[in-house]
Amino acid sequence: MKSVAMPFELRQATSGDAEAIAELYCASFRLLTFLPMLHTIEGYRRYVAGVMLKECAVTVVEDDAGIISFLALQGEEVRQLYTRPDRIGRGAGTQLIEAAKSSGVAALELWCFQANTRARRFYEARGFRAIRFTDGALNEERTPDVRYRWERD
């Protein structure tokens, strides 16, 4: 059964959101059970506050429970897109991708693990096409990934 859409709002993240984003990121990443868990929650906190929020334009989706999804965009690169596990399938990810497409970019690209079939279906249904497959030798998890690209018509 499809979940009922809940009202939520998009806004730009601030440094004060680092903790909430790190917790969400860590919890959502743990859904990818085919991956090794290389980082502790402390590592997520350091990355979000020290790298992601400094290098990327981060948009968050909020509902009455707080931040439920975020997208980190660096130029045309979607570096991260994660939804809180209990809010997956309610439209937050779609709204974030639509907002990224509307941000003035001519194209968007991202890496996705090949085994992440749900995310792959999500991107492919939203106009992204696979342009490159790797054996994972260059990513941290040493897990095969796929490069996706969306271009404005």
Ligand X SMILES: CC(C)(COP(=O)(O)OP(=O)(O)OC[C@H]1O[C@@H](n2cnc3c(N)ncnc32)[C@H](O)[C@@H]1OP(=O)(O)O)[C@@H](O)C(=O)NCCC(=O)NCCS
- In terms of Cα–Cα distance, which of 27, 131, 113, 120 is closest to 70? 27
31 part of the interface to ligand X, by CB under 6 A: yes
Q: How close are the terminal C-alpha atoms of the chain, in Å?
A: 33
Q: Which of 17, 45, 116, 146 binds ligand X (CB under 6 A)?
A: 116
| DSSP SS3 for 124 | helix
Contact at 8 Å (CB) between 92 and 61?
yes
Shortest distance (Å) from residue 66 CB to ligand X: 15
Contact criterion met (CB below 8 Å) for 58 and 21: yes
Interface mask toward ligand X for 92-111; x: CB under 6 A: xxx-----------------
Q: Which residue in 44, 90, 100, 146 binds ligand X (CB under 6 A)?
A: 90
Cα(146)–Cα(92) distance, integer angstroms: 23
3-class SS at 61? Answer: strand
Establish if 59 lies at the interface with ligand X (CB under 6 A): no
Do 132 and 138 form a contact (C-beta atoms < 8 A)?
no
Least distance from C-beta 137 to ligand X, angstroms?
Answer: 18
Q: Does 28 bind ligand X (CB under 6 A)?
A: yes
Using CB under 6 A, pick the residue from 27, 88, 115, 130 that binds ligand X.
88
Stretch that binds ligand X, among 15-23, 24-32, 38-46, 51-59 (CB under 6 A): 24-32
Binding site for ligand X (CB under 6 A): 2-3, 28, 31-32, 69, 81-83, 88-94, 112, 116, 118-119, 122, 125
